[in-house]
């Protein structure tokens, strides 16, 4: 044991767990520890707002596979992080939020910046550690970091601010790493038995494939089966898009090719996915989930098995290890699907070609409202662009090894059809939390973890306004990124509901204040360009990526869009309104 201060024990434990980057805003509550970050090899990246810091920690964790760490002043600094920690929770990110608390002698007295900080995060953390004695500083700090990786999600480390001071005897323990296995022999054999008899197997490649670095194993198993591979919702980076078996994502605004092929499945292998509700709901008026297929689900978290969809075989195991174990078993068997592998390959290719042709031709939305909006846009001084055209041009111009973060909203959701990747840890979204203001800070965190990769954020103008101040973080601290702002002057996702269900009575959905986001970006020290010519989209992205990678410049590309809207975000959750009071009865 070594004599040291609790601050030293805390910082030494961070270093032992490989922490070299923390996002946050400085504060007196942890200043004694912050003072020695630098000699410990830890950089504190100051942000503009603490929500952005937690999103950056999320992006950092999702790219690196290591801990993302966020810290702030007790009370308001910490409460600002709640929304972003919820997003990290639904993304299964190993983010550790360090929450200095009011001092032990002041708790309960209603002092300055006092708050009960553990309940704030109890819904969005896998584990909460509270240091109630300075002698336990290293122990509880280490536990929070170990549990973030073992539980595959965020943890909270709560430290009363006076417990950073004093003298203690400490042993700094080494990190603990779990060795995850493939699952049990009984369930693996049962799964192999179903796949052996399958005539049209389909694989869903999910987030567990990404987090487990299991793409090679997923590819090997898919090639043995010769099966279509579809991505789970917003995990478009879980299988290489150039592979002939890749068919695109399921879920909202996903791939019709993926949906048409999974409809035909007699056995579905859901590899590393919880089969979340939003990734299996009907889309494009298609009930694509195969009700008569046998379902095999593989997930490292036993609580996710069978939670959303009825399943036939539940394998609690690592996606990569399970894929290898299944491949070993299948290589010893004669598979029914081998007899029609050539025909299925042809069907996969034709179905994908049909969908790509449809996407090429789907340049604008064709409902009556969208047609009216297109006509209005054509009457403006500038002919604004169709969102789908912009997304297609951006797709074509994407550089190799690109990382993309998407905010929530109508155009960002439509982007799901156009985002394709060749390697894992490339797509970042707020997942089931669906909060605005996510994309820009998250991609800054991702870029900090992978400076050698191009980084692009997509955001609508509503979501952009929530987090655009973090452009200053990117500029100030030399973390260059590229942002594409789809400027359609409205809250599009919710406005679509007013179109479909409320007689186009638009309440609080308009954002047409004449803002010029490219000029605001320039005022923050970044490059900014406004585009209303389709031919300029691809070159603008290429130029911005060149500036990012070679000159260390952040660029905001403002794409001027029509007000046309894609499918409603939650068609399943709304219904035509009923009115009983006389003054509302004819309001239709």
pLDDT in tens, 172-227: 999 998 889 999 999 999 999 999 999 999 999 999 999 999 999 999 999 999 99
pTM, full prediction: 0.96
> Apex CA 319: angle with CA 443 and CA 274, to 5°?
70
Going from the C-alpha of 279 to that of each of 253, 254, 298, 308, 434, the distances in angstroms are: 10, 9, 16, 11, 13
Q: Closest Cα to residue 215, out of 245, 255, 177? A: 245
The residues, any chain, with a CB within 8 Å of residue 177's CB and separated by 6 or more, are 149
Q: Give the phi and the psi of residue 289 in degrees, each rounded to 5.
A: -70, 125
Output the 3-class SS for 321-353.
HHHHHHHHHHCCCCCHHHHHHHHHHHHHHHHHH
The residues, any chain, with a CB within 8 Å of residue 162's CB and separated by 6 or more, are 103, 104, 105
Q: Closest Cα to residue 93, out of 207, 176, 175, 10? A: 207
Cβ(558)–Cβ(489) below 8 Å = no
For residue 30, what pLDDT is reported?
A: 97
Residues in the chain: 588
For residue 577, what pLDDT is reported?
A: 84
Rounded Cα–Cα distance for residues 431 and 249 (Å): 14
For residue 500, what pLDDT is reported?
A: 87
Q: Taking the chain (588 residues) in consecutive chunks of 10 residues, what is each chunk's mean pLDDT? A: 96 98 97 98 98 98 98 97 97 97 90 92 98 97 98 97 97 93 97 98 98 97 98 97 98 95 98 91 91 96 94 98 98 96 97 97 92 88 90 98 96 95 97 94 98 98 96 98 96 89 90 94 98 96 98 98 85 81 80
Torsion of the alpha carbons at 412, 418, 420 and 424, rounded to the nearest 10: 20
Rounded Cα–Cα distance for residues 557 and 204 (Å): 34
DSSP-derived letter for residue 283 is: B
Q: Closest Cα to residue 195, out of 295, 273, 324? A: 295
């Amino acid at each position: 044991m070594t004599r040291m201060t609790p601050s030293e024990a805390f910082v030494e434990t961070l270093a032992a767990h490989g922490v070299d980057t923390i996002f946050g805003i400085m504060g007196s509550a942890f200043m004694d520890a912050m003072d020695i970050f630098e000699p410990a090899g830890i950089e504190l990246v100051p942000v503009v707002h603490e929500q952005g810091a937690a999103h950056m920690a999320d992006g950092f964790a999702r790219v690196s596979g290591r801990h993302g760490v966020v810290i702030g002043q007790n009370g308001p600094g910490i409460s600002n992080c709640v929304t972003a920690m919820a997003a990290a929770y639904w993304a299964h990110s190993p983010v550790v939020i360090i929450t200095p608390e009011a001092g032990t002698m002041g708790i309960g007295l209603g002092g300055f910046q006092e708050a009960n900080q553990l309940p704030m995060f109890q819904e969005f953390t896998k584990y909460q550690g509270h240091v109630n004695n300075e002698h336990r500083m290293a122990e509880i700090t280490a536990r929070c970091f170990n549990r973030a990786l073992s539980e595959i999600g965020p943890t909270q480390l709560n430290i009363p601010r006076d417990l950073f001071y004093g003298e203690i005897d400490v042993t700094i323990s080494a990190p603990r790493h779990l060795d995850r296995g493939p699952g049990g022999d009984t369930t693996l054999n049962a799964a192999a038995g179903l796949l052996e008899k399958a005539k049209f197997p389909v694989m869903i490649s999910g987030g567990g494939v990404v987090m487990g670095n299991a793409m090679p194993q997923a590819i090997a198993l898919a090639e043995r089966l010769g099966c279509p591979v579809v991505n789970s919702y917003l995990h478009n980076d879980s299988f290489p898009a150039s592979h002939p078996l890749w068919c695109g994502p399921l879920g909202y605004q996903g791939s019709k090719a993926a949906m048409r092929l999974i409809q035909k499945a007699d056995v579905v292998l859901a590899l590393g996915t919880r089969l979340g509700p939003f990734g299996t709901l009907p889309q494009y008026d298609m009930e694509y989930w195969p009700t008569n297929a046998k379902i095999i689900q593989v997930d490292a978290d036993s609580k996710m098995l069978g939670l959303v969809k009825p399943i036939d075989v539940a394998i609690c195991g690592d996606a990569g290890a399970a894929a290898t174990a299944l491949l070993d078993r299948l290589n010893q068997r004669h598979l029914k699907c081998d007899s029609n592998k050539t025909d299925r390959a042809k069907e996969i290719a034709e179905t994908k070609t049909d969908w790509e042709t449809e996407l090429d031709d789907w340049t604008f939305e064709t409902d009556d409202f969208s047609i009216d909006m297109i006509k209005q846009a054509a009457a403006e001084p500038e002919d604004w662009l169709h969102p789908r055209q912009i997304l297609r041009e951006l797709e074509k111009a994407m550089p190799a090894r690109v990382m993309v973060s998407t905010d929530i909203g109508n155009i960002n959701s439509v982007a799901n059809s156009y985002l394709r990747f060749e390697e894992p840890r490339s797509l970042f979204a707020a997942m089931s939390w669906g909060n605005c203001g996510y994309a820009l800070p998250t991609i800054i965190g991702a870029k900090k973890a992978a400076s050698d990769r191009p980084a692009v954020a997509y955001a609508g103008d509503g979501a952009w306004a929530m987090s655009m101040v973090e452009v200053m973080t990117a500029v100030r601290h030399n973390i260059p990124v590229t942002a594409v702002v789809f400027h359609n002057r409205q809250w599009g996702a919710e406005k679509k509901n007013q179109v479909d269900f409320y007689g186009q009575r638009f309440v609080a959905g308009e954002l047409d204040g004449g803002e010029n986001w490219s000029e605001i970006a320039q005022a923050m020290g970044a490059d900014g360009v406004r585009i209303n010519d389709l031919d300029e989209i691809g070159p603008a992205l290429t130029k911005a990526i060149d500036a990012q990678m070679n000159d260390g410049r952040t660029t905001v590309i403002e794409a001027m869009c029509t007000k046309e809207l894609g499918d409603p975000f939650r068609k399943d959750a709304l219904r035509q309104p009923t009115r009983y009071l006389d003054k509302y009865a004819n309001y239709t």
